[in-house]
Amino acid sequence: MNKWTDIANCIKWSDRVVIMTHTNMDGDAIGSALALCHALRRMGKRCVILIEDDIPGYLKFMHDHSGHEGDPFFVRSMPFDPELALVVDCGDSGRIEKRLEVFQSCRTKICVDHHMQVGSFADHSVIDPKASATGLLVYELINELGVEIDKEIAEDLYVAILTDTGCFKYSNTTAECHLVTAQLYAYGIDHERLATLIYDTLDMAQIKLEAAIVDWMEVFADGRAVISYVTQEKLRELGAAYDMTGGCIDVLRKISGVEVCAFLKEHEDGSFKLSLRSKGDADVNRVAVKLGGGGHIKASGATLQLPLNEALARTKAGIEEELALSPVSCR
């Protein structure tokens, strides 16, 4: 008996399995789901991954790992009645949205996740917030199931670990991430190709957008803060999609000596989504709360129903007020 025994038994006794993960999928969600789907098919199960939103552009290549034409891994409606639901990288039934009915129709419900959560919506769960990525938990489960890992499964798990640790750079990276990665190398993964596709490949429009963000950037508060923005009109001019704006705040975050970064992007309805980041002692949660939003000390956000100039001015005033409370902390 170990923490996986119940879950492994449920899987062994089920023939028809649906895998789900959270909407707004990331590399850990997709990699964990694909690795598990591969493994279960290797065990002779009928198994698909039920999704409802699109795979994000930078992970589109993961479709290569998606089985044969006639038997796709990702489906938007169930081709069979599942007995078992396996929810990975998602501990909140709210994040399986329209798929809740399929989930609830299953005789057995399992959750494997590394996010903090209150309570559980599954019959059997392994929730380990200390795991850097759900992919590490899925690796344990696949080993417990006795499935021989092949290159495809190993590459899916590698993408899960790589992306949730920010290419082994985030503070959540552990010795275990590196140990498991070393083991995955033994299956012949094309690690350079995967890392290049994920981290060193940008659409022309994306690279122009990021350059434009820097051109439009304003430095203020005696050089302690920067702010930039993008409007729907500018996105159209650059040929850039809205989902390319996700990394813009990180471009600003890289500038050395800057304590607070702010980025405003216009929604289609004309409101602005504000993202705030603090690299020093400043509490950007306080700034966000004053603007009607919230979040954490180091990362927060708000939605501003204001014209661009006013949104910029209000954000700058809030940041200046916050920075006035703390001495320079980031030089």
Q: Shortest distance, CB of residue 217 to a copy of itself, whole angstroms? A: 9
Instruction: List the one residue from 5, 150, 219, 292 that touches a copy of itself (CB under 8 A).
Output: 219
The answer to the question of residue 167 lying near a copy of itself (CB under 8 A) is yes
The answer to the question of residue 207 lying near a copy of itself (CB under 8 A) is yes
DSSP state, 6? H
**Piece of 15-23, 31-39, 129-137, 202-210 that binds a copy of itself (CB under 8 A):** 202-210
Can you say how many angstroms the Cα of residue 91 is from the centroid of all Cα atoms in its chain? 14
**Piece of 36-44, 68-76, 96-104, 201-209 that binds a copy of itself (CB under 8 A):** 201-209
The answer to the question of residue 253 lying near a copy of itself (CB under 8 A) is yes
The answer to the question of residue 208 lying near a copy of itself (CB under 8 A) is yes
Exposure of 217 by Cβ count < 10 A (0-12 exposed, 13-18 middle, 19+ buried)? Answer: middle
The answer to the question of residue 182 lying near a copy of itself (CB under 8 A) is yes
**Piece of 84-92, 214-222, 284-292, 313-321 that binds a copy of itself (CB under 8 A):** 214-222
- CA dist 14 and 84 (Å) reads 6
| Three-state secondary structure call for residue 13 | coil
Can you say how many angstroms the Cα of residue 226 is from the centroid of all Cα atoms in its chain? 25
Measured CA to CA in angstroms, residue 275 lies from 194, 207, 280 at distances of 29, 20, 16
Cα-Cα-Cα-Cα dihedral sign, residues 92, 59, 178, 39: positive
Lookup: tokens for 152 = 């495809």
Instruction: List the one residue from 173, 271, 303, 326 that touches a copy of itself (CB under 8 A).
Output: 173
Residue count of the chain, please give it: 331
Contact at 8 Å (CB) between 208 and 238?
A: yes
The answer to the question of residue 179 lying near a copy of itself (CB under 8 A) is yes
Q: Which residues bind a copy of itself (CB under 8 A)?
A: 167-171, 173-176, 178-179, 181-183, 185-186, 191-192, 195-196, 199-204, 207-208, 210-215, 219, 250-251, 253-258
